[in-house]
Structure 1
Amino acid sequence: MKKVAYGGVSFITTDEAADALLQFAAAAALNDFAEVVHLPAVDEDGRGIIADLVIGPASELLVTPSDSTAPSPDTIEAVNKLHARTVALGASKRVSIGLPIEDTEVDTSYLDTP
């Protein structure tokens, strides 16, 4: 499960849904496009909800791992729709998810560290 922060609030959803949402948001930004997305999720209290988000060029999402023990929401249909919308925008060839920074070698020798 992953925690998605959006517009000052957060919710928890499946890894697949969070990743599909990020891919769609990147594709929407590249194509100057906006759309409302309905995503099954759980709130901070573990209750099932539907998160409604406007995703577009100015969307700012933060996705982090979650250690929630809440039951996973059924996101299969939403993930399939997000993948289809991403492909329909024609950005799937230009959008990729890179490696997390901790998994890459970065030269930090130039940084001023205490």
Structure 2
Amino acid sequence: MKRILYAGGSLVTTDGLVDAVVDYATRLGQRGATDSLQIPSISPDGIVGESTILIGPSSELMAEPAGYDDADIVDGPAIADLRARTAALGDVKAAPLTEPGPGSGAQGGIPFDEFDE
């Protein structure tokens, strides 16, 4: 089990689910997108339920080991859902912002008087 620390609070869930949340948050951040998630979790009182979190480009998540070993959290459907959402966002690939050419900033550059001697 792992604890996700987020926005001054935390939640505990399975290792696999935490890994899926972090992967999805990373991909959302790369896309500049946000999403709201409901994931199975365990409360500080040991009660299994659901937590809702909002993740996106400004999310600062941290995961750490948690001391719950016997929690009965069913995480398979939530992990599958997060992996599908992550895959649907596709890979992020670097691409030039402009076509190369004079004055474009790529291979020719924009002239700056203070740098041109």
Where 1:64 maps in the other structure, the secondary structure is strand
Report percent identity of matched pairs.
32
**Structural mapping, 1:37-56, within 5 Å:** 37-56=37-56
Q: Distance in 2 between matches of 1:59 and 1:79?
A: 19
Instruction: Could you tell me which runs of 5 or more consecutive residues in structure 1 were left unpaired when the two chains were aligned.
Output: 95-114
TM-score for both structures, normalised by structure 1 = 0.76
Measured after TM superposition, the shift of residue 91 of structure 1 is 3.2
Instruction: Provide the aligned length of Structure 1 versus Structure 2.
Output: 94
| Contact 2:30–2:92 (Cα < 8 Å) also in 1 | no
Q: CA deviation at 1:70?
A: 4.4
Q: SS at 1:28's partner residue?
A: helix
| Aligned-partner residue type, residue 41 of structure 1 | S
Where do 5+ consecutive residues of structure 2 fail to align?
A: 95-117
| Residue matched to 1:26 | 26
Matched residue type, 1:72: D
Rounded Cα–Cα distance in structure 2 between residues aligned with 1:92 and 1:45 = 40
Q: Which has the higher contact order (CA 8 A, sep 6+)?
A: 1
Aligned counterparts, 1:89-104, within 5 A: 89-91=89-91
Structure (1 or 2) with the larger CA radius of gyration: 2
Secondary structure of the corresponding residue to residue 51 of structure 1: strand
TM-score, structure 2 normalization: 0.74
Paired residue secondary structure (1:58): coil
| Paired position in structure 2 for 1:80 | 80
Q: 1:29·1:57 contact (CA, 8 Å) conserved in 2? A: yes
One-letter code of the match for 1:50?
E
* Alpha-carbon offset, residue 73 of structure 1: 1.0
Residue in 1 that maps onto 2:6: 6
Q: Which moved more, 1:65-74 or 1:34-43?
A: 65-74
Q: What value does the CA root-mean-square deviation take over the aligned residues?
A: 1.8
